[in-house]
């Protein structure tokens, strides 16, 4: 009889060991880590302890992730509240980027808006940008994370900076249309800060909030 057939039989007849109780006590199995033989009961206890340890590690990971998500949500709430308290639209661009850099610890950040009214034409964020950046923003369906683009580095004033290794580019839109009216650019010397495998949910929330706030500057 093959081992699989024995296993299938025992699974189909759980009453087997009720009829042969003494067999349970006489069975011995090799220790999973070598050495002496152990009883079936001891082996079962070891298996349960290993499963419990695995579950504890998974639970600890879930708790850690939950704490990280809570911290991120708290930061988003603080940032959003700060934007709502800015009553002067001219202070909005600087307040938006300064608080974003501070709350999320971003070393390099810039805001560019290319559809602002003439009332805001003197603000740094409305300075002309490369056509390539506008085209790139219009094509973004979700925030870009990865190696910095040349156009984005020009917009942030870091063109040719070798120390910038990763960037996040967030297109700003009035609604669901593809045309962007601006972009938030964040960059870091850390290549892992904005890497290709990073989720973009938080960045999308930043983009949605910033887009809604900055509509006060638009034509």
- Domains, the chain, in order of start with CATH, read 86-217 (3.30.450.40)
**Mean pLDDT along residues 100-122:** 93
* pLDDT for residue 199: 75
* Among 120, 84, 100, residue whose Cα is nearest residue 168: 100
Per-residue confidence (pLDDT) for residue 35, from 0 to 100: 59
Assess whether pLDDT exceeds 80 at residue 193: yes
As a whole number of Å, the end-to-end CA separation of the chain is: 82
Q: What average pLDDT does the segment 71-84 reach?
A: 87
pLDDT confidence of residue 154: 83
Q: pTM here?
A: 0.71
Amino acid 101: pLDDT: 92
Task: Identify the residue with better confidence: 3 or 194.
Answer: 194
| Local confidence band at 37 (pLDDT 50, 70, 90 cut-offs) | low
State the pLDDT confidence band at 46, using cuts at 50, 70 and 90.
confident
Paired residues of 169 in beta bridges: 144, 185
Closest CA to 129 of 182, 204, 187, 207: 182
pLDDT score at 110: 92
Residue 17 has pLDDT above 80, yes or no: no
| C-beta separation of 180 from 172 below 8 A | yes
Q: What is the pLDDT of residue 210?
A: 95
Output the average pLDDT for the chain.
Answer: 83
Question: What's the Cα-to-Cα distance from 171 to each of 39, 88, 137, rounded to whole Å?
Answer: 64, 23, 5
pLDDT at 214: 95
Q: What is the pLDDT of residue 208?
A: 94
Helix (H, G, I), strand (E, B) or coil at 69: helix
């Amino acid at each position: 009889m093959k081992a699989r057939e024995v296993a299938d039989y025992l699974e189909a007849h759980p009453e087997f060991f009720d009829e042969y109780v003494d067999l349970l006590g006489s069975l011995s199995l090799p220790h999973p880590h070598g050495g002496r033989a152990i009883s079936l009961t001891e082996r079962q206890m070891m298996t349960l302890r290993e499963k419990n340890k695995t579950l504890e590690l998974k639970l600890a990971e879930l708790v850690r992730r939950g704490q990280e998500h809570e911290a991120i949500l708290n930061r988003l709430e603080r940032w959003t509240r700060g934007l709502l308290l800015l009553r002067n639209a001219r202070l909005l661009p600087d307040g938006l980027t300064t608080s974003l850099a501070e709350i999320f610890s971003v070393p390099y950040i810039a805001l560019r808006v290319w559809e602002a009214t003439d009332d805001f034409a003197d603000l740094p964020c409305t300075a002309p940008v490369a056509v390539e950046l506008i085209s790139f923003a219009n094509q973004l369906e979700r925030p870009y994370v990865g190696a910095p683009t040349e156009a984005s580095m020009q917009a942030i004033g870091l063109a040719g900076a070798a120390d910038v290794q990763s960037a996040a580019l967030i297109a700003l839109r009035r609604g669901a249309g593809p045309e962007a009216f601006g972009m938030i650019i964040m960059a870091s010397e850390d290549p892992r800060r904005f890497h290709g495998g990073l989720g973009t949910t938080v960045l999308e929330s930043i983009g949605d909030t910033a887009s809604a706030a900055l509509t006060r500057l638009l034509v």
